[in-house]
Structure 1
């Protein structure tokens, strides 16, 4: 056994040494450009981050961390006009704490803040530490996957993974969540881990550590946000179905995903059963957004739909309004709203298919811009947008509906093309990426619309843009590779 360890090490070293020189240059370029784009935003002064829409408090309250503001300001008050770069520990009354994978980064930062207080007596702490921990986690995954592809002598897959850093992770639409207590970045990392592990082990037999890592990544994704509670389960079902159809086997990756997804679902179900005034208020706000921004505006007969849901006619006046735009607490303005169950909403959608289709189309149409709108991005500003010197794909897609159609529609067209006469056999991994992209798109958009209406689609559905861009990066690399068949054969 001891003699086998150096043999394996030498074998891995030989595989890395055989990596084409152009790939080393390409990966180095990806790393430098990615770090430059990340660094420019995370260290920018004043702070650039997404302002608090109250969602942050659900997580920061777990550690008693709130913006460094005058004591006369309630610690849990939102600050939509601009983000804060300094936070301090405050003993708030009845704090709400949402369980999330995001708490790993915040817990590390909170421990650092406590150490800083003990050492220097400082009371206000930089939120940029949370961003630093999140970047380190992403870079660790990126390096791990890059090395894994190189060891497998798959240069084009390594290139596709390398391009994700400068083109995707470093885009401001993602990096505005770094220096915040939002969970969007954590959800993206968990999805990256899930997809990367699936693709790296494409066609490979099960290994104990791989099985455990994939299950862990699926659980992390399910626990990252309430909106993603069933996403890993959908991915698991898709992988099981794909393996059964393609190879007549139940893929071990699907089984690992299923175990992790079920663990995550159990945690989230327990969380949803917790009872407090804050949680009940959040549920009412979400219910109001579903009914008043999605269902009633897209119904062919809003009065009949309201009656079917059990709402009084007076509630119709709030159709089209987000919960925070209503002149009071939604349950006070429309008392029947609190009694509208999710099952009743689903029955209404089944009862009126036309409304269901219109809601789905509206959800897709409301995805843009990718940079979450309605909240300030610059500290000290008044709903200030992203500074002009920072480029984001969001600007390009928001201004060109045709590009958005190509971005989101291409994977669905590709699936049909790959299945046609089993053309997927030439690109089996592209088929897997396509299936994953479609599951993430449909799953995320469905849960977003049914869970929060059309009130905040760009932010809640941010994984849709990421999945679509990953697909395009992979497809373009596959297309470019096809121009160099000799290189493909050597690989």
Structure 2
């Protein structure tokens, strides 16, 4: 190893160590740093029958002013009202808290989140260690981890929200893609590890149920561009059918569980159609027609689930309550211009990814007002505050379109792996953004689109890494012929 490689490896270790220390410091902070409950944590609290020990609110009420560290068993356990793979993490969290409960029965959420924190960091370090024979690869992954180890994501750690486990698994998924990009794992291992990660993410909440099939479709198309892989796929129709069924599993789960999440779905459709799509449409009557809704629904344009009694929607526009995502997508194919307007509205009313409407600090009842600025200055998110609405607008479109342009450039340089990973990063960003908009309109967009923060930074890190490589092939990768589009490594390379 030459001096440059040694220095890059050392720097990578330092950067990832700094990211790890930042995460641990956030977890251990006293008073506790976490997002307060805006009600969504109730899904998990009710499942385990828990209540904040010192909260004065009635059972399962929202507590948006401050987060709570100590919980007590205040009710029996209930069947989950919302199916989610995150409940696997929350079951471990609850079991650990119960095992180490205090004498008075109170349970510390920090103790409960320790196992998932340790498991996540261990996974990150194992991926990083496997990357270290390729110093620039290790440096890129470590740099990305430092940037995303941010309050935007870490404030979800010591909570009952599902967001942190989704973020943690997403970083492992990116790590697996990074290993494949730099020829540190075989294609088969990357596909198995990536699919396992995506199954978890896609089952974490209904917003992500189409993510697995979307990535699978992109991967399948890329494999089809490689003659050996195309021939292999054609020779195994049975396996392809099984894989397709697995990819549809998250969709089937949430379609089957539609009765359990009917209220949430109804609220989401109302916020999407009346809060976002109709106001952004130049011809609202035509948009209603495309959506299959009667003209009487126009009276609700600009409203949302929370400012209008549900009975009014049920009386005057009941079809919106069960409107399918497919119908919304079909309407936007016929007229995509509302999405352009919506992107402009997001830029004009941008408030960053941090949720300053919620308390962040344990015991601080005025945290929503007094500590929002302090947390803002601990986050990379603060940089967006220096951008004008026009600059944010350009940044959004850059993040939406640039991965495809970078993929074209990489393809032109016969860098098939880079082209695929650029497209993958763009798919992840765009899916997170548009599934948030079409999932619940503008409501709580900072939380629903939280992963846009990490995936947007991912593209920038990939782009810098690609430019730093001078468009050269990754060391140890197979010859750059058509058959090398997604080939796995020929063996371990240093």
Structure 1: distance between partners of 2:192 and 2:321: 41
TM-score, scaled to structure 1:
0.81
Aligned pairs for 1:353-392 (under 5 A) are: 353-359=336-342, 362=345, 368-379=351-362, 380-382=364-366, 383-384=368-369, 385-386=371-372, 388=374, 390-392=377-379
Q: Which moved more, 1:473-482 or 1:223-232?
A: 473-482
Offset of 1:193 from its aligned partner? 2.5
Once the two structures are superposed, residues 166-200 of structure 1 have per-residue CA deviations (whole angstroms, 9 ceiling, x without a partner) of: 211x2111111111111222222222233322332
Does residue 87 of structure 2 align to residue 103 of structure 1?
yes
Does residue 168 of structure 2 align to residue 180 of structure 1?
no
Offset of 1:416 from its aligned partner? 2.6
Once the two structures are superposed, residues 214-240 of structure 1 have per-residue CA deviations (whole angstroms, 9 ceiling, x without a partner) of: 332221121122111111221121122
Does residue 218 of structure 2 align to residue 218 of structure 1?
no
Offset of 1:447 from its aligned partner? 1.8
2:167 alignment partner, SS class = helix
TM-align CA RMSD: 3.9
Does residue 444 of structure 2 align to residue 460 of structure 1?
no
Change (3 A) 1:398 1:472: same
Offset of 1:438 from its aligned partner? 1.1
1:66 alignment partner, SS class = strand
Structure 1: distance between partners of 2:454 and 2:210: 18
Find the counterpart in structure 2 of residue 127 from structure 1.
109
1:397 alignment partner, SS class = helix
Q: Is the 8 A contact 2:97 2:109 kept in 1?
A: no
Structure 1: distance between partners of 2:79 and 2:365: 28
Q: Is the 8 A contact 1:30 1:166 kept in 2?
A: yes
Q: Is the 8 A contact 2:47 2:77 kept in 1?
A: no
Structure 1: distance between partners of 2:154 and 2:240: 27
- 1:394 is aligned, of 361, 375, 381, to 381
Offset of 1:258 from its aligned partner? 9.7
Structure 1: distance between partners of 2:428 and 2:34: 25
Offset of 1:443 from its aligned partner? 1.8
- 2:53 is aligned, of 48, 65, 68, to 68
- 2:99 is aligned, of 86, 90, 115, to 115
Find the counterpart in structure 2 of residue 423 from structure 1.
412
Change (3 A) 1:349 1:476: closer
Matched residues, number: 465
- 1:28 is aligned, of 5, 10, 13, to 13
Q: Is the 8 A contact 2:53 2:106 kept in 1?
A: yes
Aligned pairs for 1:301-380 (under 5 A) are: 301-303=283-285, 305-306=287-288, 309-311=292-294, 313=296, 315-327=297-309, 331=313, 334=316, 336=318, 337-359=320-342, 362=345, 368-379=351-362, 380=364
Q: Is the 8 A contact 2:18 2:146 kept in 1?
A: yes
Offset of 1:38 from its aligned partner? 2.0
Find the counterpart in structure 1 of residue 225 from structure 2.
245
Change (3 A) 1:441 1:449: same
Once the two structures are superposed, residues 290-313 of structure 1 have per-residue CA deviations (whole angstroms, 9 ceiling, x without a partner) of: 122112211223355446643563
Change (3 A) 1:349 1:207: closer
Offset of 1:435 from its aligned partner? 0.7
Does residue 175 of structure 2 align to residue 196 of structure 1?
yes
- 1:299 is aligned, of 281, 293, 300, to 281
Structure 1: distance between partners of 2:374 and 2:243: 42
Structure 2: distance between partners of 1:96 and 1:251: 44
Once the two structures are superposed, residues 72-102 of structure 1 have per-residue CA deviations (whole angstroms, 9 ceiling, x without a partner) of: 7332222233322222223269664323232
Structure 2: distance between partners of 1:162 and 1:243: 29
Q: Which has the higher contact order (CA 8 A, sep 6+)?
A: 2
Change (3 A) 1:123 1:97: farther
Change (3 A) 1:191 1:443: same
Which segments of 5 or more consecutive residues in structure 2 lack a partner in the other structure? 478-492
2:71 alignment partner, SS class = strand
Which segments of 5 or more consecutive residues in structure 1 lack a partner in the other structure? 1-14
Aligned pairs for 1:411-490 (under 5 A) are: 412-413=401-402, 415-420=404-409, 422-425=411-414, 427-482=415-470
Change (3 A) 1:343 1:212: closer
Structure 1: distance between partners of 2:193 and 2:410: 35
Q: Is the 8 A contact 1:372 1:459 kept in 2?
A: yes
